[in-house]
Amino acid sequence: MAIVRFETIRKLLQQFQAKEEHALDSDETLTESEIALGRLVLPLFRDRDAMSKKIVEMSKKVEALQVAVNHIPLPVLVLDPDGALLILNKEARELFRGPAAPMTVLEKAKQFVLRPVHRERLAEFSPDDGRTKVTVRLIPGQVREKTEPTTPQLFFAVRPGTTMPLPPKTLIATFGFTPREAALVELVAQGLTNKEIAERLNVSADTIRTHLAEAFAKSGAKNRAELVTLAVAAVFGLSPE
């Protein structure tokens, strides 16, 4: 049985980036066993090098995304296409009182990724070892049909009744809403029902339904959840092109 010399193995490992497979045959210092080893390990090391470059590129993208979401004044979670947590922004870390999201929240958010049905979900977590329960609304940051399946998915985690930062001027300029429609969308984003919005604006429920239908038509939203997503995405520059 041919014996592969240790020094030759070390040489091959050190020079794998510079040496091409076709050059192995012309190297008279190598035995047949060593050439066979070279043909085996050199592609593996090239694959490792390519993977390392991809990891570096992905790390840079994640860092850039982290900087971007840290400027959003709402708690944000970003999940990868398989539903694993990639990023929490600083507001989310404050909400969850730590660098990780509770499993109950992650499981609810993961359902959005695996089953792209566009609607809000409520999730509960205990920030103080079960003594209290906190409820959050999980709102998708993108309309799934307008993003690639491999795109990381962003979600807002806000407490019910939270006023969303939706400047009416931005909504009017982006979607062509009237001032009344923009005000309506702000209240829809708080999670209020048509009846509650009608009482807040001192109009009838029929009027609210009419304004809401107009807002759907102008924004392209199919339902209230998409309307909120599109409005928030427009404000924070998250709308997929």
pLDDT of 7 reads: 62
E-strand stretches of the chain: 76-79, 85-88, 121-125, 134-140, 153-158
pLDDT of residue 154: 84
Q: Which of 162, 144, 147, 182 is nearest to 74 (CA)?
A: 162
**What's the confidence (pLDDT) of residue 181?**
93
pLDDT of residue 31: 65
- Domain co-membership, 96 together with 31: no
Distance CA 59, CA 175 (A): 35
Strand residues in 34-152 grouped as ranges (E): 76-79, 85-88, 121-125, 134-140
Per the domain annotation, does 45 fall within a domain?
yes
Specify whether the CB–CB gap between 76 and 154 falls below 8 A. Answer: yes
Q: Do 155 and 107 belong to one domain?
A: yes
Tell whether 68 is covered by a domain: no
Instruction: Indicate if 174 and 198 belong to the same structural domain.
Output: yes
Are 148 and 189 in a shared domain? Answer: no
**What span, in angstroms and rounded, lies between the C-alpha atoms of 79 and 92?**
13
Q: What is the DSSP letter of 29?
A: T
Tokens of 22: 């076709």
How confident is the model at residue 114, as a pLDDT? Answer: 78
Question: What's the pLDDT at 240?
Answer: 41
pLDDT of residue 35: 65
- Total residue length of the chain: 241
Q: Give domain status of residue 114, yes or no.
A: yes
Residue 94: strand, helix, or coil: helix
With a threshold of 0.75, does the pTM exceed it?
Answer: no
Mark the ranges of the chain whose per-residue pLDDT is less than 50.
1-2, 16-17, 239-241
pLDDT score, position 14 = 59
Q: Are the C-beta atoms of 185 and 231 separated by less than 8 Å?
A: yes
Together in a domain, 90 and 152: yes
